[in-house]
Amino acid sequence: MRIRLLKAISLFFLALFVFFAGAVFGNYQGALVSYMNDAPAKSVLAMGYLRQLECGNLEPIKASLNTDIDQGLYLYSLAQDQWWFPLFKAGLLPGGYEHEKNTEWVARVAKYRKQTPGAIADPELFDKVPEGKEEYAEAYKEMAVSHRDRLARIKETIEKFSQ
């Protein structure tokens, strides 16, 4: 009986250790791997931006940066719903997360986006299926629902942080 209890307690603490080790080290390694995997794509984007600047064509750059702004607001909103978000805010997980600094940045971006609405702010963006794309009508319906959810999250984030 006593040996079973010791085994159960040992397994519990082993599972707890594995969970926290995975959360701490896995998160760090995952973030690093993600950054490394994104590096070539970011380089290609930067190259494209430089070529557009050389040609004096600012519209593609503006569109891409506006998308980045909206994506930042959206992903910050999603992060707040995750179980690990309070652990980052408390400094219990590594990753260089500075809650006050991130909150300040989100507030700056939210104020900017409130004053300067993005090009994709139209909730009906995916409601109409383009001519010749009728076979993708179902996908357009799904994108419309997803797009509205994304816009709602962005709007909530703007309202929460733009005061």
Q: 15-25 pLDDT, tens per residue?
A: 767 776 666 56
Instruction: Give yes or no for a contact between 74 and 118, defined as CB atoms under 8 angstroms apart.
Output: no
Mean pLDDT, residues 134-145 taken together: 92
CA distance 6 to 32: 38
pTM above 0.75, yes or no: no
What pLDDT, on the 0 to 100 scale, is given for residue 51? Answer: 94
The answer to whether residue 117 scores a pLDDT higher than 90 is no
CA distance 150 to 136: 21
The answer to whether residue 75 scores a pLDDT higher than 80 is yes
Mean pLDDT, residues 110-137 taken together: 88
What pLDDT, on the 0 to 100 scale, is given for residue 153? Answer: 94
**Local structure of residue 13 (DSSP, 8 states):** H
Start-to-end C-alpha separation, the chain? 61
Cβ partners under 8 Å of residue 144, min gap 6 = 124, 125, 126, 127
* Of 45, 35, 34, nearest in space to 68 by CA: 45
CA distance 153 to 123: 12
The answer to whether residue 96 scores a pLDDT higher than 60 is no
**Which of the residue ranges 1-10, 65-74, 100-109 has the most confident prediction, judged by mean pLDDT?**
65-74
The answer to whether residue 130 scores a pLDDT higher than 70 is yes
What values do phi and psi take at 84, rounded to 5?
Answer: -85, -10
CA distance 82 to 93: 13
